[in-house]
Amino acid sequence: MKKLALSDDILMEIDKPARYLGNEMNVVMKDPSQVDIRFAMCFPDVYEIGMSHLGIQILYEMLNRRDDVYCERVYSPWPDLHEIMVRDNIPLFALESQDELKKFDFIGITLQYEMCYTNILQILDLSQIPIWAKDRRNDDPIIIGGGPCTYNPEPIADFFDIFYIGEGEVSYDRLLDLYKEMHNQKNYSRDEFLHEASKLPGIYVPKMYTVSYKEDGTIESFEPIYEDVPATVKRQVLMDLDQGAYPTKPIVPFMRATQDRVVLEIQRGCIRGCRFCQAGMVYRPNREKSLDVLKGYAKEMLASTGHEEISLSSLSSSDYTQLPELVNFLIDDCCKNGVNISLPSLRIDAFSLDVMSKVQDIKKSSLTFAPEAGSQRMRNVINKGLTKDDILNGAGQAFEGGWNKVKLYFMLGLPTETEEDMMAIPELANDIAVRYYEIPKDQRNGKCQITMSTSFFVPKPFTPFQWAPMYEKGEYLRRAKIVNDTMHAQLNHKSLRYNWHEADVTVLEGLLARGDRKVSAAIYEAYKSGCIFDAWSDYFHCEKWDEAMEKTGISLDFYAYRQRDLDEILPWDFIDIGVTKNFMKREWNRAVNEQVITQNCRAQCSGCGAKSFGGGICYEGKN
């Protein structure tokens, strides 16, 4: 039988053993003795979450196309297995070969959200690999991080050997070739490899840089330790998306993954420029995949997986220029034999309502709007172009088409927010309900249900709001209470519902998002005191984090609540994402002082700097 790393007794003792087996449909099996490089790709969360992530599937496909590389997968063992592995001293293993991770050449860890940081330490610890990069020896794997959190890698810099900044399709081959070459010449040393790697485009090796701090704790200087190491690291961007590897035979898990469907990535980047949104800045310029390529992928992937659903992936699908052609193709050519189309948050208009009425059961489905802020003033500050008229017209058309459920997403705690802005959230919801009850009673579908959800705003690196202060937990909850009280005082309150996000995890997320290298001590301390799966509310222990911060002298006042100076050296300033710091400053000023909208990229170029990549929307229609 197939080799398994865990014994039958353990597999029978733990919850959901199917997480740890490998052997799924479309899994790549290679003979490890026939490759030069063994690569373990890791999503530091539980299997069902990690298997839903498209980025890893793309890299898995791309790396396995090389005959000299075998890329396998690994996810975080759930706390029940974690305990057993610690108790029985069982080293963490990759799913495909079930071999120990510590024998691999590379472990690539995708960093999708800050609250997974203690899970990274769990992966290293269970793999029996030194947690701190400085303690690793020649035969330990190279630990490499990628994904959105690498746009400020500093809080976890001391745990990683390398961060890959940007899109994996561009520089991985050169990095792997370099590694292979140094091994073949039998002169491999970890330090020399890392030194050479740091000269490759997009490759950031934390130990090649030194940071000094001012007395007030802010950064004095951030510099390479060798002359031949570049002072800035340029984000890598794949300009022609049609040329990139795509997993047309993605792995199909046995367990129901969060994303149990074919995922079609239609574009990268976003033309909108919302000022709170990191993805909207760090993935510029907007680039589309061509319609013909997508049609081919859709058919091939449905055939190779047997999934009964297909979904589109992008930051703003409505902005894909050939969306009607693509959606009509999916409905006409793919929606046979019970295949469903799941539409991601589309802008609500006549087109999307028409499409939704074809692919969804109107009675069961709800409409989603993300106004992000309740008042027009606040929406101008965040550069969210959506107006109240847009929302009421869209909702009105939908109500007339038979829908009666609406979901609204907002943020609280945005820069310059006043009580009036907070109260505008339930007022907008109430106006939508009023619009519903304008429809004659015999033509509407019972009561309407308007659900508002608020999350608390977290300032992120490489956004125009990167300098903004956060509030203390109590202040967030006070703001949520204002929304809640206002809602209850309204005429249509019985048709309205309100949910709000946890406040303590928000503040911590803010700390980790904008932290510097000193923060790693607190993360280590939190892990040592038992924190893992912080993104799961059942496992999040705020008091342990508070203790860890206290013990290591990491203060929320400094990292979260402080208004940063526009001229301060930020921990992530050494990364060049293409969008300039001057643009961010301009946008910050337009937001908080002028409170005006900046046009989207298609309407007018705002000179953000992404044009330097030489393609995408910046050149659309200009040739």
Partner 1 sequence: MKARIKFSKSGAMKYVGHLDIMRYFQKVIRRSGIPIKYSEGFNPHQIMSFAAPLGVGLTSSGEYMDIELTQEVPCKTILEAISNEMVEEMDIESVKYLPEKATNAMASVEASTYTLTYKHPEDFPFSLDELKEKKVAFYDNATSINVVKKTKKGEREVDLKPLIYEFDIVSGENVADFDDTLETRPEIVFEINISTGSNDNIKPEFALYHFFKSFGIETQERASFFIHRVDMLTRDEDGNLISLDNVGYEL
The footprint of partner 1 (CB under 8 A) covers: 1-2, 4, 8-9, 11-12, 17-18, 21-25, 27, 252, 254-256, 303-308, 337-338, 340, 361
Burial 292-321 (b: 16+ CB within 10 A, else e): eebbebbbebbebbebeebbbebbbbebbe
**3-class state of residue 224 by DSSP:** strand
**3-class state of residue 81 by DSSP:** helix
**Which CB atom, from 308 or from 565, has the smaller least distance to partner 1?**
308
- Token pair belonging to 225: 């330790």
Nearest approach, Cβ of 3 to partner 1 (angstroms)?
9
Nearest approach, Cβ of 1 to partner 1 (angstroms)?
4
**Which CB atom, from 299 or from 478, has the smaller least distance to partner 1?**
299
Nearest approach, Cβ of 53 to partner 1 (angstroms)?
20
Which pairing describes strands 209-213 and 219-224: parallel, antiparallel, or unpaired?
Answer: antiparallel
Number of residues assigned to the chain: 623
Q: How far is CA 549 from CA 127, 164, 453, 463, in A?
A: 26, 28, 30, 26
Angle between the N-to-C axes of helices 520-528 and 117-126, in degrees from 0 to 180, rounded to the nearest 10: 60
Q: How far is CA 74 from CA 61, 96, 410, in A?
A: 15, 9, 35
Q: How far is CA 508 from CA 416, 456, 558, 568, in A?
A: 21, 12, 12, 22
Phi (first) and psi of residue 319, to 5 degrees: -85, -5
**Which CB atom, from 87 or from 364, has the smaller least distance to partner 1?**
364
167, burial (CB in 10 Å: exposed 0-12, middle 13-18, buried 19+): buried
**Which CB atom, from 15 or from 543, has the smaller least distance to partner 1?**
15
**Which CB atom, from 338 or from 621, has the smaller least distance to partner 1?**
338
**Which CB atom, from 214 or from 363, has the smaller least distance to partner 1?**
363
| 100 strand-pairing partners | 93
**Which CB atom, from 132 or from 254, has the smaller least distance to partner 1?**
254
515, burial (CB in 10 Å: exposed 0-12, middle 13-18, buried 19+): buried
Nearest approach, Cβ of 12 to partner 1 (angstroms)?
5
Nearest approach, Cβ of 100 to partner 1 (angstroms)?
18
Nearest approach, Cβ of 587 to partner 1 (angstroms)?
45
Nearest approach, Cβ of 260 to partner 1 (angstroms)?
8
Nearest approach, Cβ of 301 to partner 1 (angstroms)?
11
Nearest approach, Cβ of 52 to partner 1 (angstroms)?
15
**Which CB atom, from 29 or from 489, has the smaller least distance to partner 1?**
29
Rounded Cα distance between 276 and 164, Å, is 24
Burial 425-438 (b: 16+ CB within 10 A, else e): bbbbbbbbbebbee
Please, where are the H alpha helices in 105-145? 117-126
Nearest approach, Cβ of 398 to partner 1 (angstroms)?
19
478, burial (CB in 10 Å: exposed 0-12, middle 13-18, buried 19+): middle
**Which CB atom, from 11 or from 569, has the smaller least distance to partner 1?**
11
**Which CB atom, from 304 or from 580, has the smaller least distance to partner 1?**
304
